[in-house]
Every structure is written in structure tokens, then in C-alpha cells.
């Protein structure tokens, strides 16, 4: 079986490694002259790394013990969860070498420009046949266009800055409409941090000034597109399948994509000869739950007054606390009481995002 994977990012390489576990040796096509990371916060729940048939430990920049959700007014919620921040380009290159060592093939400077029946055409004019074609080539996917896959997206901007992170033990998420329609983040690495947000660099610069980080040396500046439609579209058709950003796979409640890729890649590899089964199983998986999309949209439409009240609601919340004390807190804020159903959806989406999306 000739399996061709378009894209040597996380989706393509992790899928290739899972296929190799099953004795299938794929060809991975990458349009760039080298394997490298695109814009990404580089954070991931530690549990998901063990699901990849690859030793990721040498590529972990920093381990943290949780996530801190910070709201206007300074109130916050802390979620205990072991997470890591990766050196993503090195990690991708390590996986690419592993693919080759295990018998897979990697072809650089190999941009796919069209799909024609059971063959693809590369930018260099070469035509190539396949038995199974997997589109893992990001939000501008050629195969997604061929399958008429449509989704909405947002722009995210990020700096990697020099920073003493020795006292930081959490991923930090800032929900504040002054800076982002979604959230801003600070993810610590060793001697550096990824600082970014949903939005443009002007808003990111304002956030850095707010945090007193605007004088820190900038090591890298990057921006990218993140699909945020959820897994509502087509994932497979006949002998073609989509995964990762090409499939709008980022979790729309948290806009993270790596954990969804890891989970979906196992499903894809185990259904490589039954791609409709891949689509069906992913659609029934928690990473595709419609509550994630609804919760993400609701959070984007909350204003800072709502977010301040939510922060007050979270302040002092105890681990495992039942619903009644939470409802009593909401009752103190009539504006939130009117949005009780929306808050339930946001709570469900947030819990699922932390369980399956990070």
C-alpha cells in the first residue's frame, strides 16, 4: 500500500510514526527545504507525549504543574495538570529522523499544487500516484481545497522573549478583551517564554507593556492562522483523509491542536484501509464534541464585565466542589445568572478542553 502524507509538521510526522508501527512505510512530502516549526505556543499536556511512538523527552524545554487562568481584576483559577513546553522545531526534526530510520521516506522541496484523481502534481511538474493520500499540510491545505473543506480561522501572534522563568511553574492564560478576542498566553521555557495572543502584533505589544515585558529582548517573532470551526467538516473521502489544521482539528475552546492530532493519528493509522471508519470514530470522539465549538464562541462574545465576574466566581473554588456552591456564587451577579446556560456550556467546554485538548 502506497501511503503519501502531505506535510511534515506534527500531524504528518506523528501519523507517519503510527503507520510505521503497523508496518506501513509512508512517503512524507514537505514543501519547505527543511523541517521546521510554524507559529505555535509549543505547550502540551504531558500525558499525550507518551501516546506518540517516539521519545520526546530530549525536546522538552520546561515542565510545569498546571495552568493558571487569569481574569480582569486579577482573580484566577489554577488547574493542576502536568504540561510541557517543547522545543518544537528540534522535536519535529527528531521525529523526521525517526521516520526515516524506521523505513519511511521524507521528501523536502516537494510542494503539492493539485490533486488529479489517484495522482498528485508537485510544483516541480512531477506527477505521483498513491493508494492513500493524507492531507496534513496545515490551514492552506491543497487536499482540503480539493475536498471543498471550508472553515473559519483566526490570526495568532507570538514573540519568544528572553525571560527568567525559574519561578514560573504554570502555563498562564489571560482572558482580557483589551488585548485579545480570545486570550493571551505566557508559556515558560528555560530562560525564555512564548508570549502570544489571538490577534495582531499591535495588541501583543500592548499586552507586553501591560505585563512589563516590553523591554525584554525578542528572540523570535511569528504569526499564524488557526482554524477555529471545530471538527464539523469532512475528514475523509474515498482514499483521501485530512488531519491536523488541514481538518480544522484545533480545539475551538482552547485553540490548541497537538493533543487532538495525537489522538486522531492513532484512529487514522488503525483505519488506514477504512477511511470512513476514521471519519466516523473521530466525529464520535470527545475532541469533536460540539460543546467545544459552542463554548469557544460564547467565551469570545463575553465582555470584560462578564469575565471579571467569572474571575470572582472562580476565586476560592475548591477542587471537586459541587455545583451548588458555584451556583450561589453566580447568583451574586445577576448578569451571569441570566447567562447560566451559557456558563454551563463554557464550563463543559473548558473541562473537555483540559481533558482532551491540552
In 3D space, the residue among 194, 244, 256 whose CA is nearest the CA of residue 10 turns out to be 244
Gap between the Cα atoms of 24 and 3, Å rounded:
8
Q: How far apart are CA 306 and CA 335, in angstroms?
A: 8
pLDDT at 354: 81
Helix (H, G, I), strand (E, B) or coil at 155: strand
Reported as a pLDDT band with limits 50, 70 and 90, residue 334 is low
- Express each pLDDT in 185-212 by its tens digit: 999 999 999 999 999 999 999 999 999 9
Cβ–Cβ under 8 Å, residues 262 and 51: yes
- Looking at residue 84, its pLDDT comes to 96
- Looking at every residue in the chain, the average pLDDT score rounds to 91
Residue 337, pLDDT score: 60
Report the share of the chain in percent with pLDDT over 70. Answer: 92
CA-nearest of 155, 133, 188 to 1 is 133
d(CA 306, CA 153): 24
Residue 152: all three cell numbers together: 473559519
Strand, helix or coil at 89? helix
Q: How many CB atoms lie within 10 A of CB 122?
A: 17
Exposure string for 209-239, b = 16+ CB within 10 A, e = fewer: eeeebeebeeeeeeebebbbbbbebbbbbeb
- pLDDT-wise least confident of 86-95, 146-155, 167-176, 241-250: 146-155
How many other CB atoms are found less than 10 A from the CB of residue 343?
22
Nearest to 44 by CA among 293, 286, 285, 357: 357
Would you place residue 358 in the very low, low, confident or very high pLDDT band (cuts 50, 70, 90)?
confident
Task: Please answer whether residues 293 and 232 qualify as being in contact, where contact means their C-beta atoms are separated by less than 8 angstroms.
Answer: yes
Q: How high is the pLDDT of residue 130?
A: 97
For the domain 3-39+87-152+232-288, what is the CATH code?
A: 3.50.50.60
Query: How much is the pLDDT for 319?
Result: 47
Residue 74: count of CB within 10 angstroms of its CB: 9
Q: Measure Cα distances from 106 to 16, 301, 316 in Å.
A: 10, 43, 51
Q: Answer yes or no: is pLDDT of 91 > 50.
A: yes
Per-domain boundaries in the chain: 3-39+87-152+232-288, 43-85+153-227, 292-356
Here the cell at position 341 is 446556560
Per-residue pLDDT tens over the stretch 208-239: 999 999 999 999 999 999 999 988 788 999 99
Q: How many angstroms separate the CA atoms of 293 and 260, rounded?
A: 14
Q: Cβ distance 161 to 218 under 8 Å?
A: yes
Region of 278 on the Ramachandran plot (φ > 0 left; ψ -120 to 50 alpha; else beta):
alpha
What average pLDDT score do residues 144-160 get? 93
Q: Are 56 and 82 in contact (CB under 8 A)?
A: no
Residue range 107-113: average pLDDT? 97
Task: For 295-332, write each residue's pLDDT tens digit.
Answer: 999 999 999 998 988 887 766 554 455 555 556 666 66
Is-above-0.75 flag for pTM? Answer: yes
β-strands 119-122, 127-129 pairing: antiparallel
Q: For residues 13 and 92, is the Cβ–Cβ distance under 8 A?
A: yes
Exposed e or buried b per residue across 32-56, where buried means at least 16 C-beta atoms within 10 angstroms of its C-beta = eeebebbbbbbbbbbebbeebebeb
Model pLDDT, residue 126: 95
Q: What pLDDT, on a 0 to 100 scale, did the predictor assign at position 170? A: 96
The SS3 of residue 297 is: helix
Three-class DSSP category at 158: strand
Lowest mean pLDDT segment, chosen from 10-19, 42-51, 271-280 = 42-51
**Four-way CATH pick for 43-85+153-227: 3.30.9.10, 3.40.720.10, 3.40.50.300, 3.40.640.10:** 3.30.9.10
Amino acid at each position: 500500500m502506497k501511503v503519501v502524507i502531505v506535510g511534515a509538521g506534527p500531524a504528518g510526522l506523528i501519523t507517519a510514526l503510527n503507520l510505521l508501527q503497523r508496518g506501513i512505510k509512508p512517503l512524507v512530502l514537505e514543501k519547505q527545504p527543511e523541517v521546521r516549526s510554524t507559529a505555535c505556543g509549543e505547550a502540551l499536556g504531558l500525558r499525550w507525549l507518551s501516546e506518540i511512538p517516539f521519545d520526546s523527552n530530549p525536546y522538552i524545554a520546561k515542565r510545569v504543574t498546571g495552568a493558571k487562568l487569569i481574569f480582569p481584576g486579577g482573580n484566577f483559577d489554577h488547574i493542576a495538570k502536568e504540561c510541557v513546553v517543547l522545543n518544537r522545531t528540534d522535536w519535529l526534526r527528531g521525529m523526521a529522523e525517526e521516520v526515516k530510520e524506521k523505513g519511511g521516506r521524507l521528501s523536502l522541496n516537494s510542494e503539492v499544487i493539485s490533486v488529479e484523481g489517484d495522482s498528485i502534481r508537485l510544483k516541480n511538474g512531477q506527477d505521483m500516484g498513491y493508494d492513500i493520500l493524507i492531507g496534513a499540510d496545515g490551514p492552506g491545505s491543497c487536499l482540503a481545497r480539493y475536498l471543498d473543506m471550508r472553515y473559519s480561522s483566526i490570526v495568532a501572534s507570538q514573540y519568544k522573549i528572553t525571560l527568567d522563568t525559574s519561578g514560573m511553574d504554570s502555563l498562564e492564560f489571560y482572558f482580557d478583551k483589551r488585548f485579545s478576542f480570545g486570550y493571551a498566553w505566557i508559556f515558560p521555557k528555560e530562560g525564555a517564554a512564548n508570549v502570544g495572543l489571538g490577534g495582531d502584533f499591535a495588541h501583543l505589544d500592548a499586552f507586553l507593556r501591560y505585563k512589563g515585558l516590553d523591554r525584554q529582548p525578542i528572540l523570535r517573532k511569528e504569526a499564524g492562522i488557526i482554524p477555529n470551526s471545530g471538527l464539523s467538516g469532512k475528514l475523509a473521502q474515498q482514499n483521501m483523509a485530512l488531519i491536523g489544521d488541514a481538518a480544522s482539528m484545533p480545539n475551538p475552546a482552547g485553540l490548541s491542536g497537538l493533543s487532538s492530532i495525537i489522538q486522531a493519528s492513532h484512529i487514522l493509522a488503525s483505519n488506514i484501509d477504512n477511511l470512513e471508519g476514521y471519519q466516523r470514530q473521530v466525529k464520535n470522539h470527545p475532541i469533536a464534541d460540539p460543546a467545544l465549538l459552542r463554548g469557544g464562541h460564547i467565551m469570545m462574545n463575553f465582555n470584560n464585565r462578564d469575565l471579571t465576574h467569572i474571575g470572582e466566581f472562580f476565586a476560592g473554588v475548591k477542587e471537586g466542589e459541587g455545583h451548588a456552591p458555584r451556583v450561589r456564587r453566580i447568583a451574586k451577579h445577576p448578569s451571569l445568572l441570566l447567562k447560566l446556560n451559557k456558563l454551563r456550556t463554557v464550563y463543559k467546554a473548558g473541562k473537555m478542553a483540559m481533558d482532551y485538548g491540552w
